[in-house]
Structure 1
Amino acid sequence: MKKINFILLIVLSVSLWSDFNFGKGLFNDGLYEEAINEFEKVIAYSPTSDDAKEAIFFIGESYRERDQLIKAESAYNRLLEGFPGLLFRDKVLYYLAQTQFEQQKYSNTSENLKQLIDTYPNSNFSKMALSQYLECIFTLNQFDNVIIEGKKIARNYKDYHNIPDVLLWLASARFKMQDRVEGKRILNEIIIDYPDHISRWKAVEKQIEITQNEDGTNEAAEELAAILQEKIPRNFEEKLRYKLANYYIEIKDFPKAYFELSNIINKFSSSLLLDEYILTFTSIQMELLKYTDVKSDYAKYKKVFRESNKLNSYLLQIAKANFLLKDLDSAKEWVNKISTIDEEILYRKQLLNADIIFASGKYSNAVKEYKKLLNNKFASRDRLLMKLGDIYLEKFQQSNTAKKYYQWVLTEYSVNDLQDEALYKIALCLDNLNQFAAAVTELEQIDITNIKEDELKEKVSKKLEYLKKFKKRDHEIAFNKLLSSLLNNSFQTDAAELKDDLLNILITDLKDYESAITILDETGSAEDNYKKAILYIKIAEKFKYESKDNLAHETLIKVDAIASKMDDVVWLEEIHIRKQLLLNSKVNDELIGRMISFVNENANNIAANEFRLYIGKHYASKNENGKAARYFADLVNSSTIDDAEYYSAKIGLAEHYYSKNDDTKALQYYEIADKYIKLDQPLTYFHYAVVLNEKGQKVKAKDKLAFLVNNAERFNEYSQVIKYFTKSLRESEDYASAIKYQLLLPEADRNDDIYKLIASDHEKLGNNEKAKKSLMHIVNKTEDDLTKLAHLQFTTNDLEMAKYTYGELTKKNKSVLKNFEMLGRINFIQENYLESAVNYKKVIDKLADSFSGYKNIREIAKENIIALYRIENRPKAETLAKKFKNHLNEVDKNEIEINRGIYYKKIDKKKAKSIFTKLLKKKNLSSDVMIDAYFWRGIVRLEKEELDKAEEDFSTVANSIDINMSNKAHLKLGTINFSKENFQKALSHYYKVIENDEDGKLAFDAARNFAYVCKTMKEWQKAIAAYQIILERWGDEGLEAKTVFDIAFCHFRDKKYSHAIEMFTRAIPLLEDKEAQAEAQYWIGESLFGMESYEDAVSELLKVGYNYPQFTQWAASAELKAGEAYQNSKEFDKATQIYERVISKYGKYSQWGTEASSRLLILQK
């Protein structure tokens, strides 16, 4: 019989080996589905064999190769969970992480990679994982963790050849944490120390991007062009040259972009990105008007696009080149060659087709095509609307329809480059419709200073001047004036006065110069002839605006004829000056001189007032503002001067006095022009607010500044406004508003000084957390900045980062003892007593015997002595205690004595207890020390199994006002009472901790114990209630696996099955014990069974035997329960199969086989 068994074993082994190798062969041939089937056979034959382990791994690899990542992940997890002692566990962890990484499960990936690196530090898989691990935690925005872990990796793997990749992630994290100096230093380290490593060029690329962000694209392009003179690895040269070409495109240096792309196409003619390079190159050719070259290059490049998905984009470019060459038939042919389902290319094709139809003169058809495209998601709808408006305005002369399209641009696109052009076109439409006042209103909305195109700027200016001077008529005012004149003259017979009123109405309000001249012709007086000459000059000016130069010339001849009959020198001079102003596009010095003489000699003349405006504007244009001010000051508002011009002059005058720091005069003129000072002149608005502030009108100034920064479009001096405004707010101690308005500055415009100010504001408001974050943004941190940052990190309990910053400070300046002191204190708080003692030692050694004057020496000495006791360096602790005994107060000495007792607790419990007891006998003992002494004496008594005595000590502590120590004592009292089987008392103590713990650290321990006691007592609902408190206050991330399991079991026993399933499911990956995992899996199935979800119950129950076959009790019990589920769902055949398998698998006479046999008998009946 033994021989037969041995032979069977050999045959089975050979069969397993054969199936496994056959599966590997299929895997190597890429037949993954077939390979999986073979591997499953291996597992089925012998689930725990070495071949089965490898088979599961290859199943995972097969699924990974097929991009079935969830199944691959499941296979790797099955291997890790089923075989804790797996010899190639590092390999499985690595590939599990790769699968999770591809699914963007960065949290899971980072956890598994950390486990791999920590558990198998020398494995090649760990080394391969270093950079990816940092990438994951970087992607999760855990930048401080990247720094901490990255530094550890750099230290532990300093000889690993890919350490530059790690440094690269460190640098990236530094930049994210706004530590730009350190980030740049690391990049330089990579570039200099690793000249042959591929990451050197990644660092170079990162450095170029930083230059672009900080100094602009021009600087980045220059820097990159210089770098490309070096010898560069081919793959990086290609990438960097293309980046350079795109930089040139961004700054519109198309000749250089053309040169770079030509080189790229020639040098990298086999590149996978060649089609993209050609497309970009072709677009540059179009910018450079090389349309013929685009056409001729098709023969050279067409083969590149034969299999390219960019073919249609290229054909579109060829079609566009033909179109721009006005070869419309060829353009149409190329358009027709484009066949695509790509919606964007299809849109571009249809748009070009519409352009071709338009260029062919078929405007109605073009309109139909453009309208079809309006709602396309790829459309530049604003430009299409402008195009349609232009067709209706220029081709169809339908101004009303055109206006609607331009108005759509205004209403649909509030911030847009086409806004000004749309307003101008609306004005043209209104002009055509004889709605001149409305046209002026539209044009006055345009801020001419913001128009980028000179041509449009000139068109707007000319049209506005023309409409105001010659077209804008105010009929209502004219009527009212006429009515008033008629009433005034109804009882008089003064025809001259009535005539003057009528002339004024015709000239000023109705701009009807011809009718005015007709009236003046009636008398032929010298004065009327003078007035006629002036009116003819205005008519000539109108003809000039309308480009009717012949009519303008003829009109001026009439002026000369009238002037030839005049004798009045003043009139003749005025006529001459006005004619010269019309004939000369620019005012020259000779003409200015004549105007100045005229003004000086005829100061009260109406014309003199107009000439003052010309003179002032002339000097202002030459930045001779002092001279301009003399004429603007005397300028009077009249009907012959446009209101906008008058107030603009007064604003110029105010600005002049502002520049001279004459706030009184500046304010005088700002107030005259108040209603004309608007947000479209943000700098003037700002200056007005400054003057108000300086002249004591603080509230009004603050309101204006707030309105300006909140509502004005960004302008060049915006940061200057913010600086002044926030300075003013700080002076009035309104720090919250200072922060609010300071943060309106875009991040790119905030420098180190600004972040220091913001940090200071936050500090003054007591918001240290935000102050800390502001300081983190400082790029070039001084030693003072780092010191303040470290202090803020400490005060906000960000101890790890505080420790890091103080560490950096000690490197910069070893003479500042405060930094070592703080490192000692932080480590002491964290109970890192060795590090605490090391740093305190540096302070004490440096001070030597001159310590008495050092601030905080008492605290340093006390904590150093305590730290030494905690690291069991009693001799040094006693030496220091003697040295500083005169500087330590009684409380300090008592605290030290507590820690001396803690030291002796390990080596001499009797002495430890004696120390605590002596302390408690002292008079005037501080409450803190007393509580500590009772607690630690309780610990000693508990360890000596003096439970009653320990209970007394802990009870004293539990009743104290120190919540933290009270909770610790209640936790101990719970344990003591549990050991005495006083379960109700134990629960009471644990519940006190859960109720009163402030940070949750002790509450989690209490919850674990509480749940265990409840489980022991079968008080399921109490356990759940305690868990609910934890959940509501702190969440459940801190719960241990066993606690989660116990809570889940309580839910199950309380028949809260859905909650039980959730908690058991969470417990499985947390539990390290495989049998406990098997049990949790079993209870998931039991819970589903309790919910009568029999199909799901079977699925979960069978996982027990599949994943945990070594735990027979749970595997067999699960299969019996699965059979019962089949019975309840009336699937008797399946139930029979399950029971027969239990008998076969576990034996007919095992407890499970006996139960299965009994159930089979029932089924057979």
Structure 2
Amino acid sequence: MNKIILSLIFLMLLSSQILPQSAAEKFNLGTKAFVTKDYVEAYNYFESFFNEHNEIDEMYSTAKYYSGESLLNLGEKHAAKERFEFLVNNYKWSTFRDAALYKLGLIYFDTKKFEQSRDRLNILINNYPTSQYFGPALYWIGESYVEEGGIDVAIKYLEDAVAKRKSNKYIDYSIYTLANVYERKGEYQKAVEYYDQLLSFHKESKFAPIAQFRIGYCYFQLKEYQSAILELNNPTIESLPTDIHSEALYLLANSHYRLSEFSNAEDVFLKFIVDHPGSNLLRNTKYGLAWSYFQQEKYNDAFEVFNTLSLVDDSIGGNSFYWKAESKRYAGKESEALTIFKEFVQKYPGSVLVNNAKYQVGGIFFTGDKFKDSEKYLLESVDSDNAIVKSKAYILLGEMNLNNQNYSAARKNFKTTLSIADTLSDIYSNALLGLGISSFYLKQYNEAARSLIDLETKDASFNHNKVSFYLAESYFAKGNYAEAVKRYNKIDKDDRGLNGLSQYGKGYSYFNLKDYENAILSFSNFIKKNPTDIRNLDARLRLADSYYGNKNYISAGRIYKEIFLSNEEKARDPYVHYQYAQALFKGGNTSEAISEFRILQSTFPESEYADKSLYIVGWIFFQKNSYNDAINSYRVLLNTYPNSSLNPIVYYSIGDAFFNLNKYDSAIVNYQKVINQYPYSNYVFDAVNGIQYCYVAQNQDDKAIKLIDEFVSKNPGLSFSDQIFFKKGEIYYSQASYEKAKTSYKEFASGYPKSELIADAYYWIGKSAQNLNQFDEAIFNFNRVFDSYPNSELAAASVIEMGNIYNQQKKYDLALAVYDKGSEKLSNSPQIAEILFMRATTYANSGDIINAYQVFDEIVQYHRETVFADRSKFEIGLIEYSARRYDNAVVYLRSLGDSRTDELGAKAQFYLGMSLFEQGKTGEAISAFVRVRTVYSSYGEWLSRSTLMLGDCYIKLKDFEKARQFYRDVIAKHRGDEIGRSAQKKLREIE
């Protein structure tokens, strides 16, 4: 305004000199009136001035500007706009043009003609960059875009306005508006930065208090509640208008609430209620207060506030009605809660919380075991659009069906829950657990395990005891007892219910794994900690069974006897009596065992253990070689239980007893009963063998052969007919009747081409031919086994036999070809080391010592767990010895002499002595040869050779007396053989 006043004074002085008195006087009077804010008078003088002054000059444009300003101050914006537009369009050189453009921008802004406003203000900022209106123009352009929602463009102009800090009298407006624009845009952090800038550099601005509030609001939106609390507690907030102050308190209380500072939230909500009783946020505040009480478990206080709010029928009232019921429920007053929930359902059938209420009614009925009522409400609540309520309802329905053992329905409920619940929620975890349990009871163990493992993977800490228990039970049911044990072991010991059951389950798992030691520990632990459990008696019985399985028959018998003599239900179980008698028998108390077995049979004659008991009595006598008593006992069983399933083995056992008494005819009679009366029993094969042995024992091999032919002829379809027929070849082979054996095996191959013994038949055809020196036929059949039945155990044996034949014929190239093919094709055979050994031996036989050495070394390196590794070491030692590489020979031979006590060790020890002797280490050689005499004295050849060499050692030492003694020892044991003649020669040389 100072610039305008100075301009007016200057023009007044100028007009008094150059204008006619009347025009100048009117201009001066107009300007004086304007300065004194008499805008009507000013306007009139300027209008008179225009009528008298027709020159287009600076004074005219000035009068136009102040005429417009006068009209503007009088509220005549339209008329003012016309004056400013005239000046702007016709006096571009006027010093007031920038001011006129600015005023036009404001007029258009006020009349919401934002495009025209920006047009005039943009001319200003483009043509007058140094104008005092440049900064404010930027601000108002920004504001115009804000009004139109052009937030991004507004930000650009407002940031420019803030940057023109020195020339912008609206700088605080610009900063505040820019911050507010960022706030509206949701960029709260940026908004905070500009609000802070306003507070830092323009503390006296009228926007400072509201900026303080807006910072708190922005932090609240950023969920930085601690910062929001700090800002909203600033004393400046107290100076805000009532409506804004109340909003600040409301946000402050909610910030405390969001930080779970419910006590502080309560205090601020209460202050709000006292300070702003007429605020439109009052009900929201009371609702927040009720929630603060609720979260502090002040359920009675929460109820009072919710109850008051529920008296008004609005959204808060409806929600409060629901939550007053929840307050009662959480306070443990389920009966009152039930009544309110039911009222809510009737009063607000369209509420989004109605299904929540139905769910809670169903839940209360559920906990009260009123399952029919519960089911009614839960089935209604599953119609909820709220996935949480819906999934919770299905969870309860699933648990209800689990309790009612309706596992299929339960499984369906839990599966439905999984399809709607959030996968990260506890509801989802509960559904997985329920699905696992219901699947377990439906015997769908794979699905049960899959669900429980999914739950464990999702949240390992969720009800892990129950998860581990049902996983263990599922694995147990599937027969995976080792995995069951692992899961049982994961159950916490302080969970008395499941830990007890886990001990019981572990006991059974270990028992089924035949790990009786751990079964004993688990059952003992369960019995000790659960004396009143209904499973205790069964655990005691299984403990006894575990002792029995562990061959601790005394402990087993003691427990069986305790149960047997008790008045408990298991005492009347013949199984207990049977196991007790078995424990006596296994523990060596056979007399008492016989007595108990007989008592059991007479006490429980119809039980499944009655005939077994009589059989074991016979078996005890059989084992004691009391064959007549055994026969009598078996006959008692046959007479008492003529239809017993044990009768085949009874007749077979009677036959064995007669066989052992050398009463072969009686034995044959009983074996025949097995064959004739029970042709499909598992003992027919043994019975035929028994008859065969009887004939062989009587040198009646022809009868044995005839028996086989007749049996096979009568029973061609039996599963073991091929095994019986195969026996025929074995008999001929054992008699060295190789031609007949070969014929019999060929008949077998023709008659039973799909038998599991077919490879054996071709092998024994080969062996029979080999023994007959029919080498081509032998090789043909061995090769057939190798080529056609590579998975047979006899494939490797066939390779070895072919190699032996070729070696015998000195056809080393053919032998090596067979071994090469065999080692390649049978690389995983247990006999691969033997094949390689024979290959190396063949190289040695052919004089190829280098290749022999390499193969022997391969066996030592890669097959060290087999006997052929040591045999190969010995062969390498001999090669080194023969090549006079004595140090190498000593290494191999000494390792064998130190580790083996068989003939291989004896040979190695002897050649160790020879290696030392050849090196002139006579003392060490003597020690080596003496060790043969002390460690390997049972191996005569090597004992004698070592004794002979001891004589040679003492000759080197010139101790001829000792040498004579050793030579004489050899002569005494080997008169007439090569070693003896060698000893005699040496003895004559020193006498």
Higher Cα Rg, which structure: 2
Structure 2 length as normaliser, TM-score? 0.39
Structure 1 length as normaliser, TM-score? 0.35
Q: Whose relative contact order is higher, 1 or 2, with alpha carbons under 8 Å and at least 6 apart?
A: 1
